Structure 1
């Protein structure tokens, strides 16, 4: 069996006040695949993503990754900070020799379809373009794993599905591994596999279509908190 890009083995996390946010989580995401993590508010999605991003440490179990990760936040305005498109991507390359910047900036912007806009002011971009710019910043650093924390939260419905399709195409063309956190069932159509998180546990795994059917059959609302998925 090949080495996974993302591996969780019996992972748990508890906050200082004793509340368990995650418990007994097992997850194995193969390299070069696009997976989605689905769950209601309070199910533990954000905690799990923070563990994978290295922002917090599990209180039990093991987390292993194929390498450095790129994190794309819900609101691109919290991540896109430079005045122009090209400058924003280059900003994340400050620890590399300047001779490498131009090539990596162009390559990353071409991958997300923004190279023609590399001189455009960031304020003139749409919400979807800003999210693609945030993704380009991660790609320029050539990370093998991309984590996306509800990246369509501030987009309209058409932009939501467009971004999901673009990430799907990106995974297929580059071999990067992506984990996309969402509560929108329609986005599941674009992933290779999806997992359902409920009450801090991974309760279901399957294709996007399988997860959609499960949620509909059990009348779950992925935007309202619930403790356990029905058996």
Structure 2
């Protein structure tokens, strides 16, 4: 299983007034589902110091595509995702995400409320007073729509890929450390030290990271 998996599912344009800064611009491209411009985020310490977490990050994800966000531990990936999902406000910069949007946490204990996939999907149907047969049918239909009808704990990334392919209104951003998962992506964003270092073609980013890793290994073995 990969590290975090985070999804954003947009359909209608949304720019939150909470994100307004002196650098706000409204000319967002219509075919872009997820966009961040010059995003920065800092936290304060008890000693009164300010620690920058994100530093002038910009990215854009086209509508109906499946992208991945990569980078070493502590580079700011989770913070960037939380800002895009509306869970955090940026210190500076602007955010544009089409609605509705959702965020899937890395830790299932923070996300899942039932012990099985089927039970978790059925949980929300409890308020509709449906018969057990109707609930079972709707759960099966929902799982089949994302190719998870016969999966237990495997195939999540393929399910997300299939969901994007079957509905071009769905856009997904997936966080991972695994280069092999890039084969499923339409594009990727690579981060280091709170900055977006590279953004675009997944193959180019895979080659960039591989070259960077090789250079680092040579350096520490010198």
Asked whether the equivalents of residues 147 and 162 of structure 2 are also in contact (C-alpha less than 8 Å), the reply is no
Does 29-38 or 66-75 show the bigger shift? 66-75
- Deviation at 1:108? 2.3
Q: CA distance change for structure 1 residues 108 and 210 in 2, over 3 Å: closer, same or farther?
A: same
Q: CA distance change for structure 1 residues 182 and 114 in 2, over 3 Å: closer, same or farther?
A: closer
* C-alpha distance in 1 between matches for 2:148 and 2:209: 36
Aligned positions of 1:1-231 closer than 5 A: 1-17=29-45, 18-83=50-115, 85-92=117-124, 102=135, 105-115=139-149, 125=152, 127-128=153-154, 162-175=155-168, 176-219=170-213
* C-alpha distance in 2 between matches for 1:177 and 1:221: 34
Q: CA distance change for structure 1 residues 43 and 85 in 2, over 3 Å: closer, same or farther?
A: closer
Does 203-212 or 77-86 show the bigger shift? 77-86
Asked whether the equivalents of residues 195 and 206 of structure 1 are also in contact (C-alpha less than 8 Å), the reply is yes
Aligned to 1:8, the other structure's residue is in SS state strand
RMSD: 2.7
* C-alpha distance in 2 between matches for 1:216 and 1:62: 32
* C-alpha distance in 1 between matches for 2:214 and 2:208: 9
Partner residue in 1 for 2:19:
none
Does 189-198 or 47-56 show the bigger shift? 47-56
Aligned to 1:82, the other structure's residue is in SS state coil
Q: What TM-score results when the alignment is normalised by the length of structure 1?
A: 0.67
* C-alpha distance in 1 between matches for 2:190 and 2:148: 33
- Deviation at 1:98? 6.0
* C-alpha distance in 2 between matches for 1:221 and 1:180: 26
Number of matched pairs: 179
Aligned to 2:70, the other structure's residue is in SS state strand
For residues 40-86 of structure 1, give each alpha carbon's deviation from its aligned partner in whole angstroms, at most 9, with x where no partner exists.
01110011111122221101011111013222222334422225544
Q: CA distance change for structure 1 residues 195 and 221 in 2, over 3 Å: closer, same or farther?
A: farther
When Rg is computed on C-alpha atoms for both structures, the one with the higher figure is: 2
Aligned to 2:175, the other structure's residue is in SS state strand
Aligned to 1:15, the other structure's residue is in SS state strand
- Deviation at 1:208? 1.7
* C-alpha distance in 2 between matches for 1:83 and 1:165: 22
